[in-house]
A and B are shown apart, each in its own frame.
Chain A
């Protein structure tokens, strides 16, 4: 199949952009760092989209799960483990915790689940502060060593950003494959009407918990890579504001679309850096954005655009004769 007509064309363009941008900014560490954080944000937003966009649950403990993975990975690395093995174990451990934290979703819907996840996030943050010997409490952990490379040396600079780019591209491709699979269709059915989905034979519990595991993997892998990349973590690095930021990227770009959260992250992740000189109004800008999205773009940028495109189509009665079989 020709790449230009393939359904993977957007992914190809995204991959090229993801790998080219760190190279373009390799001369300026500050800009390169913004690119790296943006790539991580795309990975996180893509993971949250599986839950918020496709399963219909707003998980505000997302950053907490990333934090658990980060602390476990740091701890195991400090104990002499290879970073990569520590990241694997940390991510899987945090994702299993993610399943447990997803259990309330079996009973709670919509706003009530969101509220519950907010409480869970607060408890995780308190735990990060409380278990000082594991997390160094509010002081945080600094001078986190960079991941080692197999041939000797460390993952640093532009090569770190390229690894982040690779994982982000893999994340977007994985989400696309999941969403187009039977698993994705089951999640959409659960999002639309979980009772009806169950009546049609779908094991709602199992699918929901699987979604939590996979979304938590996105959070955890991002969290494990975040810590050495930034070099410093504290409970603040994984608090509810971080969860809300990721949520805003998903909602702003368009939940339930592959590219919406990517667009949202690319626009919103660099914003705090660009607004650094206006430190005082940064939070105000964020607050206004949240309100603006809810009022003006309930389906997000990409979602709103898709809705407009659908509204421009001829009425179904006209379309039915010419509509191609999908």
Chain B
């Protein structure tokens, strides 16, 4: 079943072309990875799909319904949610209050035993009464995911979920995300190839706002064009 279908999406900021006729298609249950150099339009793509930006051209269908023109809170209510590249939690509120806020306007809130179970799975239960701003980056990243999961989204878009984490934490996050695949469909932007290689069922490559490749990770990561334009000799 098609979950997300973005067609010919173009986004310009003045004279700068951030996305040019990009097509993205994602099946329910399929983990889609997005890679590309800095400034290639990956975050812009997420901003367009989640209603934070309105593209000049294109159409986005989510679960069969058009998304363009709808506000971010309406798109969240439809079951499409996202995290941010730089971690964003309500840092003055406690972990518990952060979770409660995520539950306020969730159309399908997770029942409280489910919330407790998910928090336990993410290892956040001991931090419930701590101010979110006092958590470590890795804990804040997991809190972000928990705040999305209590809303039982159909699609979770993660924007660089391991950014700034240590290699041990990256390892642990990959394990968490591979378990997360059983809970909801994941769309993930990442620079760390290990994440893409281990998690993604399919990868798209954006370069300068254009999609230059789309396919299984093993094939894409060995594609000569992708290596030339993006990976180079470095495999992070």
Contacts and interface: CB of A to CB of B under 8 A. Distances in A.
A196 B82 CA distance: 10
B127 A199 contact: no
Contacts of B130: 316, 320
B82 A185 contact: no
Interface string B29-55: 000000000000000000000101000
A148 B107 CA distance: 50
A297 to B, nearest CB: 18
A32 B73 CA distance: 50
B91 A199 contact: no
Nearest to A205: B71
B100 interface: yes
A316 B104 contact: no
Interface stretch (A15-23, A171-179, A186-194, A229-237): A186-194
Contact of A316 (B52, B91, B134): B134
A107 to B, nearest CB: 14
Interface in A149-206: 182, 185-186, 188-189, 192-193, 195-204
Contacts of B89: 196
B127 to A, nearest CB: 7
Nearest to A204: B73
B126 interface: yes
Nearest to B95: A316
Interface string B48-83: 001010000000000000000001110011000110
Given A192-B90, A192-B91, A196-B88, A201 B129 contact: no
B106 interface: yes
Contacts of A199: 50, 72-73, 76, 81-82
Nearest to B72: A198
A188 B215 CA distance: 44
A196 B89 CA distance: 8
Nearest to B76: A201
B122 interface: no
Contacts of A201: 73, 76-77, 104-107, 151
Nearest to A196: B88
Nearest to B102: A200
B158 to A, nearest CB: 13
A4 interface: no
Contacts of A143: none
Interface string A47-60: 00000000000000
Interface of B: 50, 52, 71-73, 76-77, 81-82, 84, 88-93, 96-97, 100-102, 104-107, 126-131, 134, 147, 151
9 contacts: A185-B101, A188-B101, A192-B92, A196-B89, A199-B72, A201-B77, A201-B107, A203-B73, A323-B129
Interface of A: 182, 185-186, 188-189, 192-193, 195-204, 316, 319-320, 323, 326
